[in-house]
Amino acid sequence: MIKDISVNKPEPFFPKQPLVQFNRLININRSIKGLEAGKAILITEFYSNGLVLLSELQKYIKKTMPSETFQEQREYRSTYQKLSNLIYIQVVDHKLTVKKAPFIGWLKKLYPGTSDFLLPFPQVQGLNSAWQWYQNGILIPVLRNKLHPYYGVYFPTRFDHLILLDNWLKRYKGSKKSAIDVGIGSGVLAFQMIKHGFQKVFGTDTNPNAIVGLTEYMGGTKLSRKIQLDFAPLFGQWEKQTELIVFNPPWLPASQELDKNDQAIYYNETLFLDFFTEAKKRLLPEGKLVIIFSNLAQITDVTKEHPIENELANGGRFKLDTCLRKKVKGASSKTKREQNRRSKEEVELWVLVNE
């Protein structure tokens, strides 16, 4: 099945005509005006030229767009994303052609049949960071071994919610024959459940990179016999009832149509209704439904609605067993804009049982 899955990756660009070039001698303001007019630009000579142009583009957009409120920040990021992705860099024989460029193994791993093409510079930055994480691994406080996240797969950079789950799993007294991890991602929650004695975890995800990455990561180890994967939404092929269902959904409602890169961050209007409807069918009578969430949407005034509270009040399917909350760690002193929000932010662990 894995061989038939195509991973998400930056789309190679094959221009029909040569692009306008950018180097240190070219006027930056003129280049930015070109980007605003929708004209693509090619970074030449040095990798750092791309970094300089991106930095100046950020400064330019900040001057023209306010970014104080949460919504303004989203609009700023959207504009930056649109313009910055018109800045390209050339790949030849799976290597960047400019001087002093990083080695990025993904260029060969993700594009085995295509060696020469262009990619947007911000996408190359993302590939570079992802390669470092993949190669070096990331320490996660609740796991014994390093995580080696595959390209394009969300992995946690904050751990308050994982600690909440880990502490709950330590006290869990129920049967541990099986569990379902909906939206398995980089596998952290599934690995936690295996660590705490669950015999089998069924994991689903709509991100092909998550399925391909975890399959590669687990290889022929014991984990591959304990964790079974399905490239599918919600519960996929898992029809059998289970003792524990764990779900760490996106924490913010979508304000527009989602693309594949946003689905780990924003949820659509039907996600929770669909999830609770299907979870009811698959939870054993004495089973537990655990949802990791946050008050982020409420404290940023994106919405006053809380989908789990809505379900408890109106769904008629589940009742509350436990709700644990934990204040998140304060933001870095370098990010003053985040300080006020972080002081109010809490992660939540909701444990629901059958009504």
Other C-beta atoms closer than 10 Å to the C-beta of 134 total: 21
Is the model's pLDDT at 136 over the cut of 50? yes
- The CA–CA distances, whole Å, from 294 to 6, 243, 250 equal 32, 24, 9
Taking residues 13-37, report their average pLDDT.
93
CB-based contact 133:186 (threshold 8 Å): no
The 10s digit of each residue's pLDDT in 191-236 is 999 999 999 999 999 999 999 999 999 999 999 999 999 999 999 9
Strands 266-267 and 227-231: unpaired
CA gap 52, 61 in Å, rounded: 14
Is the model's pLDDT at 271 over the cut of 60? yes
| Average pLDDT for the chain | 91
Choose between 71 and 320: higher pLDDT.
320
Give me the residue spans of the domains in the chain.
2-131, 160-354
Structure tokens, 15: 């221009």
CB-based contact 184:238 (threshold 8 Å): no
> What local confidence, expressed as pLDDT, does residue 203 receive?
98
Is the model's pLDDT at 332 over the cut of 80? no
Is the model's pLDDT at 339 over the cut of 70? no
CATH of 160-354 among 3.30.413.10, 3.10.440.10, 3.40.50.150, 3.40.1020.10: 3.40.50.150
CB-based contact 55:74 (threshold 8 Å): no
Taking residues 174-187, report their average pLDDT.
97
CA gap 310, 182 in Å, rounded: 20
Q: Sorting pLDDT into bands at 50, 70 and 90, what band is 151?
A: very high
Q: Sorting pLDDT into bands at 50, 70 and 90, what band is 334?
A: very low
Burial of 48: CB neighbours in 10 Å, binned 0-12, 13-18, 19+: middle
pTM, rounded to two decimals: 0.87
Q: Which segment of 38-42, 52-56, 154-158, 303-307 scores lowest on mean pLDDT?
A: 303-307
Length of the chain equals 355
**Sequence-ordered list of residues with C-beta below 8 angstroms from that of 339, at least 6 positions apart, any chain:** 330, 331, 333
> What local confidence, expressed as pLDDT, does residue 330 receive?
61
Q: Write out the H or E segment, with its range, that includes residue 324.
A: strand 318-327
Q: Sorting pLDDT into bands at 50, 70 and 90, what band is 43?
A: very high
Q: Which segment of 86-95, 207-216, 241-250, 335-344 scores lowest on mean pLDDT?
A: 335-344
Backbone phi, then psi, for 11, in 5-degree steps? Answer: -75, 125
Q: Which segment of 225-239, 274-288, 323-337 scores lowest on mean pLDDT?
A: 323-337
Residue whose C-alpha is closest to residue 342's, from 331, 351, 332: 331
**What Rg do the C-alpha atoms of the chain give, in angstroms?**
22
Is the model's pLDDT at 304 over the cut of 90? no
Taking residues 95-106, report their average pLDDT.
97
Is the model's pLDDT at 185 over the cut of 50? yes
> What local confidence, expressed as pLDDT, does residue 4 receive?
77
- The CA–CA distances, whole Å, from 55 to 61, 165, 183 equal 10, 39, 35
Q: Sorting pLDDT into bands at 50, 70 and 90, what band is 13?
A: very high
> What local confidence, expressed as pLDDT, does residue 337 receive?
46
Taking residues 104-128, report their average pLDDT.
96
CA gap 181, 236 in Å, rounded: 11
Is the model's pLDDT at 72 over the cut of 90? no
